[in-house]
Structure 1
């Protein structure tokens, strides 16, 4: 790949920086990128950088590791010397001219919502993982031309097309971005895909699907429209003038990434005929759409201006992601996709997941949010004991906050009220909010001081007192065993990798005896045992009986004598109280939109 001789083609008059992306040989998984830069200072070295992370995914991804064959040339095609300044910055010698062309290739074979992927059927690229920028010139407009390898490959992106853009394979299709933020916030799907569209409040929405699977496309589009309408009704308006759902049906994938004018969803394609899996897909879709308001526009001060070079520390991800995780199912309920009973079942399942996480007593939501960069996205064998997810616990705390506000205000306020208030004060103008702004919005909705709630559940690690918040709504949380003869508690976790222990719960009988993650389960009281049949074997024992558990620790066979603890309930349900007062009925009706059937 060489710099084209004969000079640099003039970019569109709309910008002084123009990208061209080619993919001439999809089988090699290499995206070819050219950046033409005008109005360069001829006497000063020119620096270019690639982001180290992508907004919405809070981990340093080191995208520069996939860049290869970097080249630079003058407008006359004369090669320019360059050097690497750091892991993601290239510096070019003073060009002695006013226009420069940069070319490089990017290896693209990681199919996630935050990376790049190119194969024989499509190309997908996430701008932060592909586009270099000149420090200090990020606020300038950019143009982008995409040249597919085949005439039948089409381009899907929320970027605005140039009016003069042609769509033939030779010249490609061109788009414009107001600045670098918009460029990297607008993922691009190129290839063979299915496209549907619908309008809500006159705003066009596009639904693009790549990949194979059992998704009923027409049903999915109809449900997506319901979700958009319910979310628009929640906030009172749509914040965009167009929106794209980019759906990748993959082999076992799961993930979503929000953008201002689009969302990318990655989901296991062969599971979507199953009602539970399809419901989970719709929740993912609702989650990413909700982010078009909450996070993309209504965002904390720490994300008001993105720094692409390093971590952007945010200590309120419990709200950014937690509230969105709570409302993904609220929106499905209000869209008529979930029943109230289904909604409560999902909440109960989430409670069970949190209660099976010992780390909830160690790490606060505030800490979990701040340390996302080094903990949530980098789990290890002790994460279960030392961490809590700001998605999971954040959703449950936002739910309890919703109930708390409704109760304190006599049904006049809610978390809905607070979110709409925040939207009007900060989201519509994209002004960053502080932690104090958040709490004050909740307190305005409640008409009361919420400092004790925040001290206990956001800044502290107190156990969530579910029933204290449920009883005013005529509900109660109950715990059960999933089997009539539950096994005594041992504290081992397996993740499907044979008989190797993935985690040991702190304070459990197994941990106290000296067993730890990485050990390989061999025998129980001298008889072969596996991860699959261990619960059944343990069910033959009584609490406080002592067992001999044999494991390999490294290459050594070791035997541990362990007294068993009583079984622990593993099923949680939210149930209506047998009799409700008028006040409980009013609160339940206001929250769920209907009254549950009485037992």
Structure 2
């Protein structure tokens, strides 16, 4: 269609016929009741059959007390922890609603596809809901949550619930049927008579609110080991539940288990409180079930690749996962941003304070991993060096500030879809905010003469009302006020300059005040090398030299914006076939980069795009560059000698 009046002539007959008005008017079925602060009348029953290992289908049955009239059932759309509209209503199938001996027709809302409307006839006091959740059968279609050895049941993906009520005012009686001989672990507590689902029967759990149910995922499998991380009789105890593809992966030394116990002790020292009745780490060691790291108030879902215990010296990155998710019990689940809290899972969330929710959690996750002995100080510094290098090369900082990245969850964009990620930016409110909190920590230490630190903020902000489980919300002003209680400073300006600024380069004041700076080496550190080897897709990383990351077969995995590779015309569409006339191998490209440090041997890359070949010439002379942290001579050392020391 052309522009202008003539281009819109097609509208006229539709307007006259009233079709445009009908098309754009509010649909009759678009009225989803808003939550009102009232209890739901009656108790919902939920039963899940998780035994179909062949098709990886969860069968769901629900019984719901109802009243005659219109009822709207909701499938969760806005997911806590994901911070956005990542609900999987597209995997719901076979929905049937019965009441009073008849099938009740339902209509999907035309505005919110996660809402289903049904008219309940007079005389019907309860309905039965049946449907299936069609989980991914391979990694090509999504995260695998069910294998022959284990499963990850997330109630928030399975349960429909009535609109018009806060989820903490809806009571639920849940149960699950598992494959024969499997054991389960969850923050839910099973009724004594059905703790294992004897004789093939279901595991029945104590009644809970829908909010607690949705926040209490379940891991189950053939091979499960439970480890108590607290002394016997400890109030509000913490336990570690380990599942694995094979029994061998459950074996851990006493020193390794002691590091996890030390994590709990160090968190007690940091937060001086426990905001849970009990806490259950759910840890799956598997290359068949999809990995995960997701926080909950009284548990966490943690999925790592095989070798967590077996390859202890080579897997430090995986061991920062549990400290991060455990910190979230205080930061995010107990203390929660006011604009992120919602009465149910279909009211949109706002993520403006994720730089505290996720950013300070990222910081404490790194710190607690070292204080507990899960990660060594050297390993932590090498990991931090990689973070600093990535953020220092984040070209998108010049147009998109850190505060705006907190909208990533609401954008519902997969990070893997961002082909120019260092120009677009992504969820930088994790790592870059961690550097801001390092800045704040070292500033407090400097201004107080070492008498106070960010630990004091953690105790005052997260450690209040010990034992309270109900979320306590906060706003920007509360963060500033608590910081000022710890150490007087213009914290509003401090935070806003770093959140709203557009300057190039990562915020490195805290690193410098800690006594360290970013430096470069010609070989990757052990941590960086192990991370590359441990990933599902093996890569060769030349990010900080050519601005190029390649998969082992030569396919381009990443090109940094405005890097030498970018300026030479390289993109994700290419594969590197040869380096200076010889078939591509990482060591050949590395040797060629080194050889041209004097400018005498520019790189000639033969690249393929579809069925076309061309040559790319790169006259890069900076040599190989891999990040390290280096001590600043004559400066106070506040990292190893302060922040990372166990309490």
Structure 1's 321 and 532: CA in aligned 2 closer, same or farther, altered over 3 A? farther
Structure 1 residue 365 and structure 2 residue 402: aligned? yes
Structure 1 residue 411 and structure 2 residue 463: aligned? no
Distance in 2 of aligned mates of 1:125 and 1:15: 25
Name the counterpart of 1:482.
522
User: Contact 1:149/1:169 (CA < 8 Å) preserved in 2?
Assistant: no
Distance in 1 of aligned mates of 2:137 and 2:242: 18
Distance in 2 of aligned mates of 1:544 and 1:59: 49
Structure 1's 338 and 21: CA in aligned 2 closer, same or farther, altered over 3 A? closer
Structure 1 residue 251 and structure 2 residue 274: aligned? no
Pick aligned residue for 1:352 from 356, 375, 389:
389
Distance in 1 of aligned mates of 2:281 and 2:271: 20
User: Contact 1:290/1:324 (CA < 8 Å) preserved in 2?
Assistant: yes
Q: Classify the secondary structure of the residue corresponding to 1:313.
A: coil
User: Contact 1:123/1:189 (CA < 8 Å) preserved in 2?
Assistant: yes
Name the counterpart of 1:126.
154
Q: Classify the secondary structure of the residue corresponding to 2:339.
A: helix
Deviation of the 1:195 alpha carbon: 2.9
Distance in 1 of aligned mates of 2:450 and 2:560: 41
Deviation of the 1:402 alpha carbon: 1.0
1:390-429 correspondence to structure 2 within 5 Å: 390-424=429-463, 428=468
Name the counterpart of 1:85.
109
Structure 1 residue 323 and structure 2 residue 360: aligned? yes
Q: Classify the secondary structure of the residue corresponding to 1:257.
A: strand
TM-score by length of 1: 0.85
Distance in 1 of aligned mates of 2:547 and 2:385: 23
Q: Deviations over 1:55-86 (max 9, x none)?
A: 11235334112112111111x43222223224
Structure 1 residue 381 and structure 2 residue 445: aligned? no
User: Contact 2:556/2:573 (CA < 8 Å) preserved in 1?
Assistant: yes
Structure 1 residue 22 and structure 2 residue 49: aligned? yes
Structure 1 residue 520 and structure 2 residue 520: aligned? no
CA RMSD of aligned residues (A): 3.3
Higher relative contact order structure (alpha carbons within 8 Å, sequence separation ≥ 6)? 2
Distance in 1 of aligned mates of 2:380 and 2:558: 30
User: Contact 2:522/2:623 (CA < 8 Å) preserved in 1?
Assistant: no
Pick aligned residue for 1:48 from 50, 73, 76:
73
Which stretch of the first structure deviates more once superposed, 129-138 or 417-426?
417-426
Gaps of 5+ in 2: 1-39, 525-540
Distance in 2 of aligned mates of 1:140 and 1:65: 24
Which stretch of the first structure deviates more once superposed, 420-429 or 567-576?
420-429
Q: Deviations over 1:335-394 (max 9, x none)?
A: 344454444344334323333443344432211112234356354211122215222212
User: Contact 1:494/1:503 (CA < 8 Å) preserved in 2?
Assistant: yes
Pick aligned residue for 1:33 from 40, 60, 76:
60
Structure 1 residue 102 and structure 2 residue 129: aligned? yes
Structure 1's 141 and 516: CA in aligned 2 closer, same or farther, altered over 3 A? same
Deviation of the 1:266 alpha carbon: 0.3
Deviation of the 1:421 alpha carbon: 1.9
User: Contact 1:521/1:530 (CA < 8 Å) preserved in 2?
Assistant: no
Q: Classify the secondary structure of the residue corresponding to 1:37.
A: strand
User: Contact 2:596/2:619 (CA < 8 Å) preserved in 1?
Assistant: no
Pick aligned residue for 1:436 from 477, 481, 489:
477
1:566-581 correspondence to structure 2 within 5 Å: 566-567=622-623, 569-575=625-631, 577=633
Structure 1 residue 172 and structure 2 residue 202: aligned? yes
Name the counterpart of 1:238.
274
Which stretch of the first structure deviates more once superposed, 397-406 or 566-575?
566-575
Deviation of the 1:180 alpha carbon: 1.7
Q: Classify the secondary structure of the residue corresponding to 1:541.
A: helix
Distance in 1 of aligned mates of 2:138 and 2:206: 25
Distance in 2 of aligned mates of 1:90 and 1:22: 23
TM-score by length of 2: 0.79
Deviation of the 1:32 alpha carbon: 1.2
Name the counterpart of 1:210.
243
User: Contact 1:489/1:565 (CA < 8 Å) preserved in 2?
Assistant: no
Q: Deviations over 1:544-595 (max 9, x none)?
A: 5655443233433233444435347422223263x56xxx47897443449x
How many equivalent pairs are there? 570
Q: Deviations over 1:161-209 (max 9, x none)?
A: 3467574245422223532211110001233232324235333333222
1:287-326 correspondence to structure 2 within 5 Å: 287-305=324-342, 307-309=344-346, 311-326=348-363
1:444-463 correspondence to structure 2 within 5 Å: 444-462=485-503, 463=505
Q: Deviations over 1:493-530 (max 9, x none)?
A: 23416222223222223322333221222344555445
Q: Classify the secondary structure of the residue corresponding to 2:64.
A: strand
Distance in 1 of aligned mates of 2:478 and 2:249: 45
Distance in 1 of aligned mates of 2:90 and 2:638: 57
Which stretch of the first structure deviates more once superposed, 316-325 or 206-215?
206-215
Q: Classify the secondary structure of the residue corresponding to 1:366.
A: helix
User: Contact 1:186/1:262 (CA < 8 Å) preserved in 2?
Assistant: yes
Pick aligned residue for 2:164 from 133, 136, 146:
136
